[in-house]
Amino acid sequence: MPFGIGCALSPIADPMNTYQAALASLRQNPRTWLVTGVAGFIGSNLLECLLALGQAVVGLDNFSTGHPKNVDEALERGGVGARFRMIYGDVRDPAICREACGGVDMVLHQAALGSVPRSIDDPLSTHESNVTGMANMLVAARDANVKRFVYASSSAVYGDDTGSPKREERIGNPLSPYGATKLMDEIYAGVFNRVYGFQTIGLRYFNVFGKRQDPQGPYAAVIPRWITCLAANEPCVIMGDGETSRDFVYIEDAIQANLLAATVEVPDATGQVYNVASGEQTTLNELYQIARQKTAERVRVKPPPPVYTDFRAGDIRHSVGDISKISSRLGYSPTHTLEEGIDAALGWYLTNDRTKTPRRLNLHIPGVMAIGPHLET
Ligand SMILES: NC(=O)c1ccc[n+]([C@@H]2O[C@H](COP(=O)([O-])OP(=O)(O)OC[C@H]3O[C@@H](n4cnc5c(N)ncnc54)[C@H](O)[C@@H]3O)[C@@H](O)[C@H]2O)c1
């Protein structure tokens, strides 16, 4: 095991009250947050929520997979004032990381190259952004006296472990370079916790979904991709026999996990990793039926039957997360089922076609500052 997980830890009595109390406390005592990967799916949703809570936010992104429009949309929905500063830069650059961490209380480190197949195609790029970038951020945040460093890990670290549900204390061997990078992130964060007393918390996201998750491109996630296909009456591609299973987590629950991790005051809660999951297992065949039904409730769909192809290299066969540790230690309590999450996100998936969106950040919003080169359109 990478580090101190699985030790005896005291539980929190009432999870929902814990989260409500954390939100109320943040509203009363606003902090300054750095969200890396802020133009991505999870990062832009974190930005929107933090701004709505009256927090000051620094955003960092190199727009490699993120979209300027995500930042614009988060600013429009979260309310902006002078509380947001955007840094267009790369976590592979230590100087940019140092600049981004200046004056920051909390870091929510999301920047990384996601996707198992991308990492198999190009392991070095994934390593540089995910491991070198993480190490740069840890050093910069430690040196800037950041109070807590919450970072995105992944259920991919469970690798070839066949146990179900996945529990934090038992992992297997990673099945992809991507899984290896996330495991290295956990090891580094554990070392920084032990060696420097720096407060880190790793969140092993399972399959997070929701608005602003990119439906386009070869590495798009399954839910936005399928809903886009269904709405266009194109066949969905199911890799393998469709009995591969996943744990789908709605974005609001991933946000909840981040805010709890950043604010929890329970002793020994840091230096840990936590599953961020729903605890519910869904096969791809079941997901297809749900996505098809939900899409048909909003638009006329008559898609051809799904196309079954080969299993995808590096994929874990079954993945469902045990959420007892994050529930009892951080007070996490998921609020959305898969169906409810799809209902909430569907409108966005159906009305946002990123192929028609210019890649430009709206620099006319007061309080937004761009550092570095202007973005290409
Ligand atoms: N979405 C999921 O289901 C899921 C599951 C497990 C783990 N994760 C992890 O959560 C985090 C966020 O994922 P997401 O789904 O929002 O992905 P995303 O691709 O939408 O967002 C990642 C963001 O990081 C930025 N980025 C990438 N490399 C960078 C670099 N070198 N410097 C600066 N910015 C960089 C991208 O431009 C993008 O905006 C990632 O660390 C990912 O590995 C996500």
**pLDDT score, position 81:** 61
Among the residue ranges 49-53, 234-238, 350-354, the one predicted with the least confidence is 350-354
Protein residues whose CB sits closer than 6 Å to any atom of ligand 1: 37, 39-43, 61-66, 90-92, 110-114, 129, 133, 152, 154, 205, 207-208
125-149 mean pLDDT = 98
Per cent of the chain over pLDDT 70 is 88
pLDDT tier for residue 5 given thresholds of 50, 70 and 90: very low
299 Cα: distance to centroid of ligand 1 (angstroms): 30
For residue 357, is pLDDT > 70? no
**pLDDT score, position 360:** 41
Q: What region, left, alpha or beta, does residue 22 occupy, with left being phi > 0 and alpha being psi -120 to 50 degrees? A: alpha
**pLDDT score, position 80:** 65
Among the residue ranges 253-257, 277-281, 284-288, 304-308, the one predicted with the least confidence is 304-308
Domains of the chain in sequence order: 15-209+251-279+322-337 (3.40.50.720)
33 Cα: distance to centroid of ligand 1 (angstroms): 17
Among the residue ranges 18-27, 142-151, 242-251, 344-353, the one predicted with the least confidence is 344-353
**pLDDT score, position 96:** 98
Closest approach atom of ligand 1 to CA 208:
3
CA angle, 366 as apex, 353 and 374 as ends, to 5°?
60
Report the mean per-residue pLDDT for the chain: 89
Handedness of CA 98, 104, 106, 109 (dihedral sign): negative
For residue 4, is pLDDT > 50? no
255-274 mean pLDDT = 96
pLDDT tier for residue 11 given thresholds of 50, 70 and 90: low
71-93 mean pLDDT = 90
- Per-residue pLDDT of 304-338, as tens digits, reads 899 999 998 878 899 999 999 999 999 999 999 99
62-83 mean pLDDT = 89
60-69 mean pLDDT = 96
* pTM confidence score: 0.91
pLDDT tier for residue 369 given thresholds of 50, 70 and 90: very low
- Per-residue pLDDT of 161-184, as tens digits, reads 999 999 999 999 999 999 999 999
Q: Give Cβ neighbours of residue 47 (< 8 Å, ≥ 6 apart).
A: 35, 38, 57, 59, 71, 74, 75, 78, 84
* Among 46, 63, 65, 137, residue to substitute to test ligand 1 (most atoms within 8 Å of Cβ): 65
Cα gap 183→187, rounded to integer Å = 6
Residue nearest to atom 9 of ligand 1 (CA): 152
114 Cα: distance to centroid of ligand 1 (angstroms): 5
Q: What b/e readout covers 310-349, taking b as 16+ CB neighbours within 10 angstroms?
A: eeeebbbebbbbbbebbbbbbbbbbebebeebbebbbebb
For residue 356, is pLDDT > 60? no
Residue nearest to atom 20 of ligand 1 (CA): 40
**pLDDT score, position 13:** 57
Q: What b/e readout covers 100-128, taking b as 16+ CB neighbours within 10 angstroms?
A: bbeebbbbbbbbbbbbbbbbbeeeeebbb
Any catalytic annotation for residue 158? no
Question: Token pair for residue 288?
Answer: 């297809």
For residue 109, is pLDDT > 50? yes
For residue 276, is pLDDT > 50? yes
If we measure between CA atoms, which residue out of 169, 287, 295 comes closest to residue 221?
287
